[in-house]
Chain A
Amino acid sequence: MLRCRLSNKRMIEYLDKTMSASARKRFDLHLASCQACRNKLAEQEAWLAQRTALLADQKKNGLPDNDLPARIMDAVGKATMSEQAEPRLKPSSRRVWLAPVGVVAALALFLAIWQVLPLLLKPLVGPLQEAAQDAFSPPMPAYSILMPSSIVEKTYGVDGYGSWYLFLPEKGDQIALNAQKAESEICYLAVLSLSEHARAAVSQNDLNTAVILIPASPDSVVELSRRAENILQTCSTPFQIEIIKSAAIQGHLNSMDPVLYGMMFNAPPADSDWILIWIGK
């Protein structure tokens, strides 16, 4: 069957009845002869029926009382009162798997380490940078590095979650299977970016964890994580590296921390695996 060229956007416009009459007529004509498009449309309409049920349920069972804002303010008051009376909340128990790292990285130690991290990386990074420049001219970046200023504003910053760095590639980006130079550079830049900005952010924010997230092709993900590990092992900052299958990345990020979830608004590349590096407690 020929692949249908009607866009998803046009489908939505058809469902919304926001097409011009002539366009709608053409669409109708097409639908009459295209089973695939009829199926797509039926699926959307099935959702719309389900949505109606959800909205009806909300209307019937889910409208809040008028004094909801007052109860919320009460709850906020109580929570902040008890916080003042009690020690600081512990970090989420959902990060139990980070315990071995967390134990090592007591906050004081952590902050001290951040102070020296750039110094520790400097001797490593300098030659690497020169080598990278010598070996090949830098390709057009296949990634973007979100700077701390744009990340921290999206994070909670307090209440046990801390703030984060995230090395987040653009949608559709992936490190090519055989482009080992690019892979090395990505690792190098990720670590470099972290070291460049860590100190400033630590002093300005309640930073307690750094995250680097790198996409890699399934065939090279193990090798790439080994390289990242090599880079990180030259400094004494506690870190943990994980490899996550692409299919699980979204759920994994959702499960780990709301902060990360908020940043995964761009679609992760569907066919890459991920290297997730946690640095700090």
Chain B
Amino acid sequence: MNVNHDVNDVKESHLVKQAQNGDEDAFSLLVERYATRLYGVCFHLLGNREDAEDCVQESFIKIYRSLTGYRFRSSFYTWAYRISVNVCLDYRRKNNRGKTVSLDEGPETSSGQLFYQVADELPLPDQLLERSELTELVREELSLLPAYLRDIVILRDLEGLSYAELAGLLKISEGTVKSRLFRGRKQLMERIRYREQNRSGGRQTDREITTEGSEGEK
């Protein structure tokens, strides 16, 4: 998969500039180039065709509207990918099957302190976690990973980008990509295990999430 190199890069930046100047054909070519990949990202985060289609359409609407704000400092794909992921996260929150507590409705006190807690929905305790449920749980936890880990897990493990491509896209070293990939996978599996272990514990609303943020890159 070539995302940011050489000839494609030149053509792409040219296309983007044309699209920024209102050339709809150029925008259409960008859509053709990235529709399937962004759809794939949406599908991985949402797990069904209809939602993925809604979100990839919404993503491109946002991309279209925001195009003039793109300044070529990151690759167009990275920029578009992030918009897509955010559309999916928004979509999950709005259509979360009525389970998730909105993070925007945290308590407000006179001291101004607001403690937002990540809502966590659990299947009924007496249900066996079937494969499809497990897959949905994986998608959900994937979407809840810290962004700097989630992006690498998605782009490397699900979208198949190489370490070199990721290093270039994210402007970090290949070693850091690998280290974050490891941590992302680890954290994801820890979250999934936590969810599975606590299935009998009822709805959980005050879950501490370890970000490992202060740990140095190895």
Question: Is A230 positioned at the interface, with any CB of B under 8 Å from its CB?
Answer: no
User: Nearest residue in B to A64 (C-beta to C-beta)?
Assistant: B39
Known: A62-B43, A75-B60, A261-B82. A250 touches B211 (CB 8 A): yes
The reply to whether the CB of A38 lies closer than 8 angstroms to some CB of chain B is no
Chain B residues within 8 Å of A, Cβ to Cβ = 27-28, 31-32, 35-36, 39-40, 43-44, 47-49, 52-53, 56-58, 60-62, 64-66, 68-74, 79, 82-83, 85-87, 89-90, 93, 102-105, 108, 111-118, 131, 134-135, 138-139, 144, 146-148, 151, 157-158, 170, 175, 178-179, 181-183, 185-186, 188-190, 192, 208-216, 218
B interface majority secondary structure: helix
CB contacts under 8 Å to B, within A66-86, are: 68-69, 71-73, 75-76, 79-80
Beyond A47-B188, A76-B61, A159-B62, is A62–B148 a contact (Cβ under 8 Å)? Answer: no
* B58 CB contacts on chain A under 8 angstroms: 75
| Interchain CB contact under 8 A, B211 and A68 | no
Task: Choose, from A7-15, A177-185, A190-198, the stretch at the interface.
Answer: A7-15
Cβ 8 A contact of B112, one of A69, A75, A241, A270: A241
Closest CB of chain A to B188's CB: distance in Å? 6
CA distance A250 to B158 in the complex (A): 22
Q: List 14 A-B contacts (CB under 8 A).
A: A8-B178, A50-B189, A55-B158, A71-B53, A72-B31, A72-B56, A72-B60, A75-B58, A97-B104, A154-B79, A156-B65, A243-B114, A255-B102, A262-B147
Contact B135 A54 (CB under 8 A): yes
Of all chain A residues, the one with the shortest Cβ separation from B108 is: A97
- The number of chain A residues with a CB under 8 A from chain B is 76
